[in-house]
A and B are shown apart, each in its own frame.
Chain A
């Protein structure tokens, strides 16, 4: 039944967007995480979406991979910091807070849109159950 398919697609998309929101949350939480001079700092995580086409031409979505941002780590001059290196620089994560905020708003909007699809599909399925009654 096609409406159940619509429901499944939207449910998959909600899960994918939730995973993206999780990545945003860990990136923002670790935006200021410092690393010791000989350790690698936190790298921003980005989820990569991928369409999962079905034979009837519809397509769900799933998270294909969670990639680490290859951008260089931020270095911040603070000689009094306990994790500062010999030159007085602290290595911080490479999280771009502005990008993450945009990502967060976008993921939240997409989440809402798909939730509404689920709601509509549910209502229509319930109405269909009453057919002939």
Chain B
């Protein structure tokens, strides 16, 4: 019984975990926007979620350096506008995953309470 409840919530909770991880990856890029030689990193959320669903207990994906059109003279490849946009987008999607998970929990609670 407990397993079935966990299975019902698994997809959304994995999505939430990956969104939170991506949020800290993007925060790294914003924090290092002026660090000489820093290369902006990110990971593909959809692919990471597919991998996590296929293989439970897999470690969080490692972010990879992103191809950048115009590195700065000091070798930094952070594009602040793009990072801010991605950060805001990821925050909204985190909240979306949170609401979906909340909805599932409420449905389960309703079923339990009858």
Q: Which A residues are closer than 8 A to B by beta carbons?
A: 1-3, 5-7, 9-10, 12-13, 16, 48-51, 56-61, 106, 110, 113-114, 116-117, 120-121, 123-124, 127-128, 131-132
Contact = CB atoms under 8 A, between A and B. Distances in A.
Size class of the B contact interface (CB-based, 8 Å): 35 or more
Interface in B42-87: 43, 60, 62-63, 80, 84, 87
A3 B101 contact: no
A49 B25 contact: no
B60 A10 contact: no
Contacts of B27: 5-7, 9-10, 58, 117, 121
Contacts of A61: 31-32, 35
A114 B31 contact: yes
B32 A120 contact: no
B23 A3 contact: yes
Nearest to B20: A2
Contacts of B23: 2-3, 6, 120-121, 124
Contacts of A50: 35
B31 A60 contact: yes
Contacts of A116: 84
Given A49-B34, A57-B63, A110-B34, A6 B95 contact: no
Contacts of A120: 23, 87-88, 91
Nearest to A130: B102
Given A9-B24, A114-B30, A132-B105, A127 B98 contact: yes
A1 B33 CA distance: 23
B24 A3 contact: yes
A1 B25 contact: no
Contacts of B36: 48-49
A22 to B, nearest CB: 16
A117 B24 CA distance: 9
